[in-house]
Structure 1
Amino acid sequence: MTRYCINGTFLSEKRTGIFRFAEEIIKALDSLVGDNLDIVLIVPKHTLIPFSLKNIRILEYGFLKGIPWEQTFFAFYALIHRRIPINLCNVTPLLVPRGYSVIHDISYKVNPQYFSHWYGLLSRKWHCLNYWIITHFARHIFTVSGYSKKEIEKIYKTKPSQTTVIPNGWQHMLYVEPANDDVFSKYQLEKNNYFLSLSTIAPNKNLGWVLQTAKNNPHQNFAIAGSLNPTRFGSNLNLNELRNVKFLGYISDNEFVSLAKNSKAFIFPSFYEGFGLPPLEAMAVGAKVIVSNIEVLKDIFEDSAHYIEPHITNTNLNDILSKDVSSPSNTLKKFNWIESARKMKECFRT
């Protein structure tokens, strides 16, 4: 029997969309693991696990966290116990590159202009090294969209058979209870009278589109949730000059559900994405979604979303929302965590 170990370093860090993918894939895999698969989830000591598993064992191993942990203790565990590593978040332990790895996108490689600040430059060098190692040594590569698969094959000259697409899902939103109405007074928002965005200050997220659109539409209200730390990207965006924009910071899943379903629409104006999970989550809870007309988002949402040109901000949002779109079910039925985990499992050697 082939034995595997999942790199659980992400569980000791703040959740992002990529980490959401990792958590949900692990839970879905757990429901599919039978007697022919031996998988253990390895995490740093004192890691709080926000879910329970029935078939995949969880083991705390070694100290440290983040990159130092996965490059040492996780790698040592895989080597000592002769287990094949499964890496779900763009990075592989360099000592054990012959595992299964997920590359969500290769933005660090194809968009160097987004990473000119010192933090971005360091992160870009690290991720580009991992892209190269994974595409040259991994047993198999996974990615989250057909668009990312094409980019990986184009840039790294991999064969189509080397990479399998396992998309994100949305079913985790079915288990999130909406926050009560106190959330609207907490953030000083009026139901059905604001546009919601979930963003960071990373250049590819195109936060400037929302700010400029808010400036051009002073009669409309905008709420932006997420981390807006400019020290990571050297942003010169002025985040405090618009009275019709509220910055919410990190919000809980419960708050997201309430705020999304009671918004005029959820706005996602990215220049570049590997998939685009937040608008899928918003759509799953009943929100209208407005996304940029980039290739990957058009592939995912097809006729179920409203589209904007991410370089043009003199946009009338009411006009956009007045156009008919297809039922969200047309998009939602395409994506399922269990089906993605099943495709991943089929690639494992048993």
Structure 2
Amino acid sequence: MLRFALNGRFTARKLTGQERFARELILELDKLPEAEEFVLVVPEYASSIPELKRIPVVKYGKVKSHLWEQISFYRYIKKNRLLSINLTTTCPFFSPDIVCIHDAAYYEISDLLTKTLYGKLSTAWHRLLAWGSARWAKKILTVSHYSKNRLSEILKISKERIEIIYDAWQHFNRVGYDDEIFSCLPACVKKKEYVLALSSLLPQKNFVWIKEVAKRNSDLQFVVCGKVVNLSSCSEQDLKCDNVHFTGYISDAQVKSLMSNCMAFIHPAIYEGFGIPPLEALSCGAKVIVSNATCLPELYEDSVYYIDPYNYDVNLKELLGKTVAPSEKILKKFDWGREAKKLVKIVKKIRCL
């Protein structure tokens, strides 16, 4: 019997962190006996629908962008008397039901996110949705204890209403390698001799740090995978440096090849809800450098190298000469299948209310 409608707006968006979270959890839900209680509802124009065997997929509504959730998805769940499960922060305002708010960035670093008109509008909209979720959602999910504590304090809701569903990395096992990416890079970028970073160039990802550290480590090459987005007031030109090379948006197979052959993977974010790329890099056997900000020490413990995201005076070779713990413990800590089972337990409790 159908009871829950999975918000499939992510299937019409580019695959980044939150979309990955939704996609992988749903793929794992599809393997469970309880799959028959879920339906994935997607826009009619969805272009990246996961292949599911047990969870039915319904294409419904042609309304674009955020309005699809507020009109089409909302209409569907009310018409069919289903509870909504929203895994990528946004949700129907009047029926959030179960919603994963990945972080509190729109409150804690709003000064960084409101430097453009798009950023101002996006911040206001996400704050409104979070306000509604805090009041009407039956359960709020998030992806780290750090985010749980901050959301509880900021939205003034009890911690008992918030459950943690972690991100994971096993999707990377399905990805092959594409070494052709090296032919697209300058000849000075040699295997095992470059530092790699992967993300959109959102301001909180702190890619200015990479530019400044690259200047101070001029004997190293830095490869940055990602594109400037509307929330950012900077451009690739702003971040340009002789030993920093941008690839733009590339395939997972190309990313995996770069991660497997880098000297180190670096993630200097000043704010993060979780951060999947460092976990993917660890799964490839790469040395990983992350900032000591927000949730990152909680998640990665002593298996990575830490930097201060506001301090540019870092000798990377010296840092990487230090000893860190093996990555096996961290990789075992995060598993999509385990998190999907956790989600089922949560929705079962709500179903019994």
Range into which the TM-score falls when normalised by the shorter chain: over 0.9
Q: Tell me the distance in 2 between the aligned counterparts of 1:310 and 1:60.
A: 43
Select the residue among 99, 102, 109 that pairs with 1:101. 99
C-alpha distance 284-83 of structure 1, shift in aligned 2 (>3 A) = same
2:263 corresponding residue in structure 1: 264
Q: Tell me the distance in 1 between the aligned counterparts of 2:137 and 2:94.
A: 12
Give the AA of the match of 1:114: L
Q: Tell me the distance in 2 between the aligned counterparts of 1:33 and 1:88.
A: 20
1:221 corresponding residue in structure 2: 221
C-alpha distance 260-67 of structure 1, shift in aligned 2 (>3 A) = same
Query: What pairs up with 1:45-124 in 2 under 5 angstroms?
Result: 45-97=44-96, 99-116=97-114, 117-124=116-123
Aligned pairs, number: 346
Q: CA deviation at 1:2?
A: 6.0
Contact 1:27/1:53 (8 A) holds in 2: yes
Contact 2:95/2:137 (8 A) holds in 1: no
Given the two structures, how large is their TM-score scaled by the length of structure 1? 0.95
Contact 2:146/2:294 (8 A) holds in 1: yes
Q: CA deviation at 1:50?
A: 4.6
Q: Point out the more displaced range, 205-214 or 38-47.
A: 38-47
Identity of aligned residues (%): 38
Give the unaligned 5+ runs of structure 1: none
Given the two structures, how large is their TM-score scaled by the length of structure 2? 0.94
Contact 2:99/2:139 (8 A) holds in 1: yes
Select the residue among 181, 184, 187 that pairs with 2:185. 187
Q: CA deviation at 1:199?
A: 2.4
The SS at the match of 2:302 is helix
Contact 1:3/1:38 (8 A) holds in 2: yes
C-alpha distance 237-58 of structure 1, shift in aligned 2 (>3 A) = closer
The SS at the match of 2:133 is helix
Query: What pairs up with 1:280-295 in 2 under 5 angstroms?
Result: 280-295=279-294
Q: Tell me the distance in 2 between the aligned counterparts of 1:2 and 1:158.
A: 29
Please give the per-residue CA displacement for 1:45-91, whole angstroms capped at 9, x wherever unaligned.
Answer: 13233531111100101112321111110000001111111101111
The SS at the match of 2:29 is helix
Contact 2:211/2:240 (8 A) holds in 1: no
Q: Tell me the distance in 2 between the aligned counterparts of 1:52 and 1:333.
A: 26
Whether 1:245 aligns to 2:244 is: yes
Q: CA deviation at 1:201?
A: 2.5
Give the AA of the match of 2:182: F
Please give the per-residue CA displacement for 1:222-280, whole angstroms capped at 9, x wherever unaligned.
Answer: 00001124x53222774364111111000110001000110011100000101111101
Give the AA of the match of 1:10: F
4+ runs deviating over 4 angstroms: none
Q: Tell me the distance in 2 between the aligned counterparts of 1:178 and 1:330.
A: 25
Whether 1:196 aligns to 2:196 is: yes
Give the AA of the match of 2:222: F
Contact 1:306/1:320 (8 A) holds in 2: yes
2:332 corresponding residue in structure 1: 333
Give the AA of the match of 1:184: F
C-alpha distance 136-115 of structure 1, shift in aligned 2 (>3 A) = same
Query: What pairs up with 1:267-346 in 2 under 5 angstroms?
Result: 267-346=266-345
Q: Tell me the distance in 2 between the aligned counterparts of 1:136 and 1:95.
A: 10
Q: Tell me the distance in 1 between the aligned counterparts of 2:64 and 2:166.
A: 27
The SS at the match of 2:62 is coil
1:145 corresponding residue in structure 2: 144
Q: Tell me the distance in 1 between the aligned counterparts of 2:265 and 2:218.
A: 18
Contact 1:192/1:263 (8 A) holds in 2: yes
Q: Point out the more displaced range, 108-117 or 81-90.
A: 108-117
Q: Tell me the distance in 1 between the aligned counterparts of 2:34 and 2:148.
A: 29
Give the unaligned 5+ runs of structure 2: none
Q: CA RMSD in A?
A: 1.5
